[in-house]
Structure 1
Amino acid sequence: MARRRRKQTLPADPVELQITALSHDGRGIGRIKGKTVFVDSALPSETVKFVYTQKRGKFDEGRTVEVLQPSVERVQPQCAQAHLCGGCSLQHMEPQAQIAMKQGVLMEQLQHFGELQPEEVLAPLTGPIYGYRRKARLGVKYVAKKESVLVGFREKRNSFLAEIDQCHVLAEEVGLKFPELKQLVMSLQARSTIPQIEVAKGDDAVAIIVRHMEPLTDQDQAAILSFCQQHNLQLYLQPGGNDTVHKVWPEGEARLSYGLPEFGLNMKFHPTDFTQVNQDINQDMIRMAMDFMDIQPGERILDLFCGLGNFTLPLATKAAEVVGVEGDDAMVVRGRENAEHNGLNNVSFYGADLTKPFDDQPWGRGGFDKILIDPPRSGALEIVSKMTVFKPKRIVYVSCNPATLARDAGELKKQGYKLLKAGVMDMFPHTTHVESIAVFEPE
């Protein structure tokens, strides 16, 4: 019989600690009797009181309960539950200090994993720090003992939902309506079988997707529909997996959209599609990437991990030909839809597993003048190690993980490419998520 793990007994009294550094995940770092302690909501140069949340062999973890000596970089969070909610981890830190931290993480990772220093460190891209988030998956839980409903994000470092009434980083059409959402769920017969509500915002509308584990009664469905009509939210229901998501209201195409006016484009997407959560930064990021690509007449461009064409179609407004390659078949379809919707006929979309050889792929034949790549967090080592066979004159790499960007940059260095520029883009203010961009050219 397997032994049941004994619940850990932690010291109950707060402990005073001098914070000397900040971890990559935004926690203050201090030492007690030579042992490292990671403390939530603490900043370098601060003296805090914290309570232990976990004791481990090589390090301990804790949560700040009182700041005795604050850092000059400390600010008052807009959210009263910022210390608890896992949706944000840096609201207590001055925004410019957040950016400096992220830039430091990028440069440190480039040096550590790739032994690289860019010839030019780019000025950070910044935008609105609240109300920016257009995509989110909110947890929902009916608490029978309290006869209440929780809606929001998980608490820091555990699976419990944080008890919050507002989310200031989420689009206000939903982020400021948590009490109304809770009241809605509480009124439903199905309140104990609704685990999540997904949010997606376009330029013209906001949609919610209500996941329900059991069929909804006519009364429940009418209540949800009435709520969405009252608050002008498009309604989608999800009775099973992702393939069961369907639009209920209003009638019409199951698409939202966002504009890229600088390029005369309108991008359509399904609420479950991957899109950049921060439209202001997305606009600036596309503009920056296009500037770095410096497309000349007659050039042929390759866009890897192209999604629904967020970069592909702007590239197609300048280049002679653009090829977009994506591993998600649904996104390939969406890219083709968007090309047709925008009247572009010099762009082709292909589905392919970009972790595998591409020698026999139709898109892999012939050369490309320049390449843009925007991979997932795992990076793109497999494709990066081979794509220089195209002999591109320039590579622009957009990354959501500085560690894998640095690793892949090191591989490009081995293949004779130098790192011209690199910098961060604040796609997720108040979080430790680091979005970055890098430019490479042959030595």
Structure 2
Amino acid sequence: MALFFKPQKKTVVKRKQQLTIDTLNHEGIGITRVNKKVGFVEGALPGETVLATLTQSKAKFERYTVNKVITPSPYRVQPFCVHYNVCGGCQLQHLATEQQLAEKQKAVNSLFEKFLGDAKIDLNWQSVINSQPLSYRRTARIAVFYDKNKKEYLFGYRQKGSKKIININSCQVLESCFNNIFDVFHPLLARLKTGQSITHLQLYKTEVLALIIIRHIKPLSEKDINLIALEADKNGWKIVFEGETGQYKFTDKNAAIQAVINNKSTYILHYFINEFDIKFNFSFDNFIQVNHKVNRAMLKQAIDWLNLKNDEKILDLFCGIGNFSLPMAQRVNKVIGIEGVSSSVEMAKFNAQNNQIENAKFFCQDLNEPMAKSSWFNEEYDVLVLDPSRAGAFDILSQLKLKHFSRILYVSCDPVTLARDSKLIVDAGFNISKTGLMNMFPHTGHVETMALFAKS
């Protein structure tokens, strides 16, 4: 008979240690050297001496959380949110806003030095596309969880370093129209008979609409639907219910616009980019940029940097609903947009048609797969535009004949994959012409960067 032994999980002795912080990494976590390892110290700032508790010990690194700041940084400030110490939404409220940007720029520099090595690339930093510090999020997801033991609802975000949902009473980074959403829904959930089937609320704010999608895994009673609709109406919110089958139910005919795309009924919203006189329609399952102001400035900067000519042809990869494709199509001969999510491709086509832009064509393809047999892949282009997810664009960049492009614009939401992918571009004979931060998510560890590459 064979005996199987389950290995015992190693217990970390939570010792306290005094540490001096050297720098921040790209996630906004303090970095030091401790016990001949890299130490990650959450909540600490460069130059600070802190008393911290060990929470994880591995062969090459250790993790700590701050108990006490002994010598504070001159840039340390009081967090504005009462939930900051427990909520996982923001990571940098304890650092002055302008210094957040300075530290993020240093982190990007360090990553480029790591990946490009001896190349000694000058990133030629440009002015930051900045954001208002509060009320900038036009989309957000708020979780709903019913604790059966305590017989109460948890309504809020995930706890720091955990999947656990914690109650939130306010969130100042949400668009101001949602300022009182927690005050309304905390008592409302307790009044519902079938509220335990609600999993989360998805918020959307456009120029003309404040919308809340109620997602639920079992049917809600008509009485509960009417209670929610009544409270929403008092606060100027439109409500859509998304049930367990993915079907949408509207309590107000004006809650969204119904359009026909490829003979399929789809409910869509819209936002405007006034600088280009473009109306972008989007559906509930489409990705849009969270920060509308920064998105507008980002599009303008991209076009300014590229200095597009009317006889040029652009390949726009990870094009989404046409966010970059359509403004650029107004200035060039042709744009080909490629996106792996079919619903986004259909919306991009609809947006092109709706804005009477005839020189933008869109195709659905997984950009992590081989492309050699694709018709669009073997065409000639002047400009390459990339706006990938956090995974980056390594697979497609490895396949493209990069030397055929004169300029490459890379819009990044992850500085690690940006630096990694940039080596491919530089090795193909390009220089980094300009680099700039975009403060899409103030007070968080997210780093959004735009980089322009020009052929040497």
Please report the TM-score for the alignment, with normalisation by the length of structure 2. 0.89
Question: What residue in structure 2 maps to residue 184 of structure 1?
Answer: 188
Question: What residue in structure 1 maps to residue 161 of structure 2?
Answer: 157
2:304 is aligned with 1:291: yes
Instruction: Tell me which amino acid in the other structure corresponds to 1:136.
Output: A
Instruction: Tell me which amino acid in the other structure corresponds to 2:97.
Output: P
Q: Is the 8 A contact 1:22 1:29 kept in 2?
A: yes
Q: Is the 8 A contact 2:335 2:359 kept in 1?
A: yes
Cα distance in structure 1, aligned partners of 2:392 and 2:35: 38
Q: Which runs of 5+ in 1 are unaligned?
A: none
Cα distance in structure 1, aligned partners of 2:355 and 2:134: 31
Q: Secondary structure at the match of 1:89?
A: coil
Question: What residue in structure 2 maps to residue 416 of structure 1?
Answer: 429
Instruction: Tell me which amino acid in the other structure corresponds to 1:177.
Output: I
Cα distance in structure 2, aligned partners of 1:37 and 1:285: 35
Cα distance in structure 2, aligned partners of 1:37 and 1:413: 32
Q: What does 1:135-150 align with in structure 2 at a 5 Å threshold? A: 135-150=139-154
Cα distance in structure 1, aligned partners of 2:408 and 2:105: 21
Cα–Cα, structure 1 residues 50 and 150, in superposed 2: closer, same or farther, change >3 Å? Answer: farther
Cα–Cα, structure 1 residues 37 and 414, in superposed 2: closer, same or farther, change >3 Å? Answer: closer
- Out of 61, 70, 73, the position equivalent to 1:68 is 70
- Out of 274, 292, 295, the position equivalent to 2:287 is 274
Q: What does 1:108-123 align with in structure 2 at a 5 Å threshold? A: 108-115=110-117, 116=119, 117-118=121-122, 120-123=124-127
Q: What does 1:100-249 align with in structure 2 at a 5 Å threshold? A: 100-115=102-117, 116=119, 117-118=121-122, 120-240=124-244, 243-249=246-252
Cα distance in structure 1, aligned partners of 2:95 and 2:145: 30
Query: In terms of mean alpha carbon deviation, does 405-414 or 62-71 score higher?
Result: 62-71
Instruction: Tell me which amino acid in the other structure corresponds to 1:38.
Output: F
Please report the TM-score for the alignment, with normalisation by the length of structure 1. 0.92
**TM-aligned CA deviation for residue 119 of structure 1:** 5.2
**TM-aligned CA deviation for residue 314 of structure 1:** 0.3
Q: Is the 8 A contact 1:194 1:212 kept in 2?
A: yes
RMSD over aligned CA atoms reads 2.4
Give per-residue Cα distances to partners, 1:198-217, cap 9 Å, x unaligned. 11222211222212122111
Question: What residue in structure 1 maps to residue 392 of structure 2?
Answer: 379
Q: Which runs of 5+ in 2 are unaligned?
A: 258-266
Cα distance in structure 2, aligned partners of 1:211 and 1:202: 20
**TM-aligned CA deviation for residue 62 of structure 1:** 3.5
2:440 is aligned with 1:427: yes
Q: Is the 8 A contact 1:41 1:83 kept in 2?
A: no
**TM-aligned CA deviation for residue 178 of structure 1:** 1.0
- Out of 327, 334, 340, the position equivalent to 1:327 is 340
Cα distance in structure 1, aligned partners of 2:92 and 2:299: 26
Query: In terms of mean alpha carbon deviation, does 186-195 or 51-60 score higher?
Result: 51-60
Give per-residue Cα distances to partners, 1:164-200, cap 9 Å, x unaligned. 2111112222244212121122211223332211112
Query: In terms of mean alpha carbon deviation, does 423-432 or 349-358 score higher?
Result: 349-358
Cα distance in structure 2, aligned partners of 1:164 and 1:16: 32
Cα distance in structure 1, aligned partners of 2:178 and 2:30: 32
Question: What residue in structure 1 maps to residue 96 of structure 2?
Answer: 94
Identity of matched residues, % = 33
Q: Secondary structure at the match of 1:302?
A: strand
Corresponding residue pairs, total: 441
**TM-aligned CA deviation for residue 367 of structure 1:** 0.9
- Out of 47, 50, 74, the position equivalent to 1:48 is 50
Q: Is the 8 A contact 1:83 1:89 kept in 2?
A: no
